Every structure is written in C-alpha cells, then in structure tokens.
Structure 1
Amino acid sequence: MTTSNGTGTQAIDRAMSLVAAVIKADEPLTYPELQDECGLAKSTTSRLLAALERTELLERNGGGGYVAGPLFWLYATRHDPWEELVRIARPTMEQIGDDTRETVNLSVNRGDRVAQVAQVDSSYMLGTKDWTETDVPAHASALGKVLLAYGALEAGDGPFERITPNTIADPGALRRELDAVVRHGWASTVDELEIGLTGVAVPVRGVHGDVIAALGVSGPSPRLEHRIDEVGQKLDERAKQLSGLLRRGTHKRGAA
C-alpha cells in the first residue's frame, strides 16, 4: 500500500478524519466546515465525501449538512437499539404530549414482556405516573396489544389474568381484539389495566418495515374514553412520521 497518490492508507486516513469530524460534532457540518476542520483540498474533500456517501458512512440532511450515515443506525439497532430509539422518538413524544396533554409512553418487547423505555409526563396533575418502572401485562394495556397484534410479542394460550372486570381474559376474545387493532391501526383499553385508566397506542416501524415499538397515550378515563378515535388518529400520524425517520435514516443529530 502506498501513501503517495492518495489511493492507499493516506486516502483512508483522510476519509476517516472526515467521518470522525462528523461523528464528534454537536451539529451537522457543511462542506466548507469539513474542509477547514480536516485541512483538505477542495477536490480531495469532494471526492472523499462522495465515496463516504456511496458507502453509507455519511449522508446529508435536509439542510445540506453532513451527518452519520445509515450504517451507524444499523449498528445502533443491532447493538444498543433502545437508547438510540428513545433519542430519536423523544421529539415526537413531546409533540404528542403537546397535542393531547396526557402521559406519553414508548414501549418495546423485552423477552415476553412489555418494557416501557421512555415517558413524557402529562401536563395535568391528575394522570401523571411513572410507568417506566412498572411491569404491565401485555393483554391489559394498549401498548401491549399493539406489540401482540403485530407479532412483536406472543400472546400465549391463555386464559389471561383478569386484572379488572373489564380485562379481556378469554383467548378467543383477545384474538378478535388484536385483529381489530390491525384493522383500525391503533389499540385501546378502557379500565382494563386499572379502573379509571384509558390508553391508546399505535405501532412504530423500523428500517425494514416491521413493528419495533408501540407509542401510546394514557390518562383518566373521563378525559380520554370519549376521544379514543381522535387520539388514535393523531398518534397514527405522529408514529408514521417517526417510522419514516427511522426508515430514511434522516434521524441523526441535527437532522430530525
């Protein structure tokens, strides 16, 4: 290998300096900023950036700045998916909180259970509770029903625990409920997990289109049970936007 013509280790070193500059930056870097940061000629910078985009190590966001490319997202989803997912989803969750003023949760499956990995609190004093430390049965929560309906969790044979008089405990009835979730695009519970608690949730899809999480809103039944369709539609719109970010890879810092 040679360093004299820019095709050997010198070219690799220069390309990696561009990648490192982008990864370490707090904001997306422009072409002139990268050239200045790495001390490279214009032609060299242009050639290397084009190669790094082709190989998906870097990409440009909507403003033209360079951010980490899809290969970094792929690595994150395989090795530390939930931390990255929470970071990406946080702005969407805050938007939903502004839309509904209710508690917003993001859940994933961990083994055979629903794990709540992020929460935005309700703006109401009544209804705010930290669900991230609570083990919630999948069949009795809107978030869990989404994961069950789309195959991210297995329901099992049942019968299921009847937590309240409204909990669906019969396997056949639960199956019909899950089929309805897929038809409608969202799941709901009214007084099934707790008397007086209503929840609505929708699926979040990953880079391959499969359901990787559930995004939901919960609050007191008197506030929510008559707004289920309205809240479900709002959630569906927001979740589709989030899913689009995940699929397109435009979610990197400064790009969303």
Structure 2
Amino acid sequence: MEPGSHDVELTWRPAAKAAHAGKASTGTQAIDRAASLLVRVVEADTPQTFSRLLAESGLPKSTASRLLSALERHGLLRRDGSGAFLPGPVLTRYAGRAGTADLITAAQPVLERLGEKTGETINLAVLSGGSRGEVEQVAQVDSRYLLGAMNWVGLRVPLHCSALGKVFVAFGATDLPRGPLERRTAHTITDRARLAAQFAEIRKTGYGVAVEELEPGLIAVAAPVRGRGGQVIAALSVSGPSIRLGQAQIAEIGELLVSEADAFSASLGTSQ
C-alpha cells in the first residue's frame, strides 16, 4: 500500500456513509408519508378526494400526487368514478380472506332457501381482486335439475359479462378493467357505453342480469349483499338455462333476490 492511501480510504468512507444515511432518511420519509396517506383513506368513512388529502397531509402537491399514484399502482388504493380514493383491491382481498368463511356460513340458509324457491343453481360470490376484473364464486347450492347443473365454486368470471360482476360494478364496489373487454359469446356486451346504461338500470331495479353473455344458453340474475357501512361485499345469484328462464321468470327471480339479499345484509348489520 502506498503511503497515505490508508488516510484517503478513511476519509472516503465516512462521506459514503453520510450519503447512504441521507438516502435512507429520504426513503424512510417517503414511506412514512405514503403510509400516512394510505391510513387516511382506509380509516375514512367516505372516499377521499385528492384536494382533501392534500390539505390534511400538508404535503406538496407534486409529492402527494406521486405517492398516491404509487399506492394506486400497487393496488393499495383505487379511485371511484369521480376520482376520489378508496382502499384498493389488495387490501380488499386481504380483508376478504378473513371474512369469507364466516360469510359463507352466514349465507348458507339464504342459499338453501333460494334453491328451494327457484330450483336453480344458487351462488355466493366475492371480488377476486387484482387487475383482471373478476369475481370468484365461493359457495353454491346445486340446481334440482340435471340440465344446466355445474359446480361454479372456485371459478372466477369477468365483471362485464356476468350478473354477479355487473352488480359489483353498478354499486361502486369496483371498476371495469382497463383495455378491451373479452367477448365470451355472441351476446357479450363489450361496449362501455352500453354497459354504463345497464349499470344505471341495475341501480334502479336492484339486480343485474346476464343473458347468454358468459356462456351460450346460460342466464343469471344477481343482487348485492352489503356489509357495515352499506358497501357491497358480496353478491347472490340464481342461474339456469334459457329454456327455463324467460323474461317473466327473470323479473320474478330478480325481486326475490333483492328481498333475500336485503334481509341478509340487514342480518350482517348493514346501514345503507
């Protein structure tokens, strides 16, 4: 080692450590700020606007925008139709795992009662989360008929072409995925304007319908289940073949589903 080289090395190391410490401090500060924004949204009773989060956090506009975008990008936050922030699919999925088993147990008498009254396949579904835009069916009571009987438990279906998925979107529990929508059958609606009109109608009637949009010959009707605070946490559906479910049957089943879903929601302590 040349004379003096050791001194140079000693002089360099503290500077490197100081630079590293500065970066660590900056990183920790960013995490703290992002966490603070996330907590504000999660603990709020209503969707939080950007302007409100900006005012309450005291952050610079550019910083708040960057952090909120990062949280949204990673699925921790999402925006509603007006652009306000809500807990994202990652948090919704995590919360749902803990409550799904209890929800299934509580819903079983409702599923069985609907099965007895309609004779058709009855399903309970929750949002599956992620960016693909799907719902997952978690419980089922089988149809008394052989035609149209299928086990849907564990299967995930798209939001835009299933009665269950349409209910979640119509009542603001989630949004349609970005990009082109999959055409599953000749009857699948992929035009977003037409779907928006359907969602408005669902909000009026209280139930959603998918007529041969998911599978040829399959008709399904669904209604929302609400948890505390009135947020849609699940959906109930009745499905069967088109030869058994005409317009009159669809309307009758829709009214029955709304009645049963509302009563079930009330039993869960909802406040709409």
Distance 2:240 2:148 in 1: 5
> Would the aligned equivalents of 2:128 and 2:156 in 1 still touch at CA under 8 Å?
no
> Would the aligned equivalents of 1:158 and 1:169 in 2 still touch at CA under 8 Å?
no
> Would the aligned equivalents of 2:225 and 2:236 in 1 still touch at CA under 8 Å?
yes
Is residue 200 from structure 1 mapped to residue 218 from structure 2 by the alignment? Answer: no
Alignment correspondent of 1:246: 268
Match of 2:146 among 125, 133, 138: 125
Q: Using the TM superposition, give the Cα deviation of residue 186 of structure 1 relative to its aligned residue in structure 2, in angstroms.
A: 0.3
Distance 1:217 1:78 in 2: 22
Is residue 148 from structure 1 mapped to residue 166 from structure 2 by the alignment? Answer: no
- Higher RCO (Cα < 8 Å, 6 or more apart): 1
Alignment correspondent of 2:33: none
What runs of 5+ residues in structure 1 fail to find an aligned partner?
1-76, 249-256
Q: Which structure's residues are more often helix, by fraction? A: 2
- Aligned 1:103-142 pairs, distance under 5 A: 103-112=121-130, 113-142=134-163
Alignment correspondent of 1:236: 258
Distance 1:78 1:111 in 2: 10
> Would the aligned equivalents of 1:109 and 1:213 in 2 still touch at CA under 8 Å?
yes
Alignment correspondent of 2:208: 187
SS of corresponding position for 1:161: coil
Distance 1:214 1:225 in 2: 22
> 1:12-36: CA deviations, max 9, x gaps?
xxxxxxxxxxxxxxxxxxxxxxxxx
Distance 1:153 1:163 in 2: 21
Distance 1:135 1:79 in 2: 15
> 1:145-193: CA deviations, max 9, x gaps?
0011112221134431111111010111111111111111000011101
Distance 1:158 1:190 in 2: 23
Distance 2:253 2:165 in 1: 17
Alignment correspondent of 1:98: 116
Distance 1:81 1:93 in 2: 18
Q: Using the TM superposition, give the Cα deviation of residue 78 of structure 1 relative to its aligned residue in structure 2, in angstroms.
A: 7.0
> 1:196-244: CA deviations, max 9, x gaps?
0000000001122111111000000111133111000011111111011
What is the identity, as a one-letter code, of the residue corresponding to 1:211? V
Over the residues paired in the alignment, what is the CA RMSD in angstroms? Answer: 1.7
Identity %: 45
Larger radius of gyration: 2
Alignment correspondent of 1:159: 180
What is the identity, as a one-letter code, of the residue corresponding to 1:82? T
SS of corresponding position for 1:204: strand
What runs of 5+ residues in structure 2 fail to find an aligned partner?
1-94
Distance 2:137 2:263 in 1: 20
